[in-house]
Amino acid sequence: MSIALCLGVLFLEVIVICRNIKTLFNFDPPVTSEEIRAASLQFVRKISGFNKPSKANEGALLAAVDEIAGISTRLLRALETNAPPKNREEEAAKAKARAAERFGA
């Protein structure tokens, strides 16, 4: 049984992990509510398979985004670490270098 944790929501038997959702914990400056909402939207799009939902599904998907954003906010506030906060620009540069090495420049 595989276990994946994506935005604080535990799923069993998840094969596809949310690769495009970035880590939001322990950064300086701290994560914003807009970043949490964007990650929540990306997560809902991924698990629903809808990039642009129909009018019939729009309300359900927006409600899910709100709930996941709230859960994620509570999770991020509750987490503790002794590690120093990561610098956003440095982490972005590292990710860009990894991508260039993996996929070529």
- Give the model confidence (pLDDT) of 29-75 as tens digits: 999 999 999 999 999 999 999 998 999 999 999 999 999 999 999 99
Range of the domain at 48: 3-103
Handedness of CA 73, 18, 11, 59 (dihedral sign): positive
Residue 57, both tokens: 């599904």
d(CA 1, CA 103): 30
d(CA 103, CA 95): 12
What is this structure's pTM? 0.73
pLDDT at 20: 67
Residue 5 pLDDT > 60: no
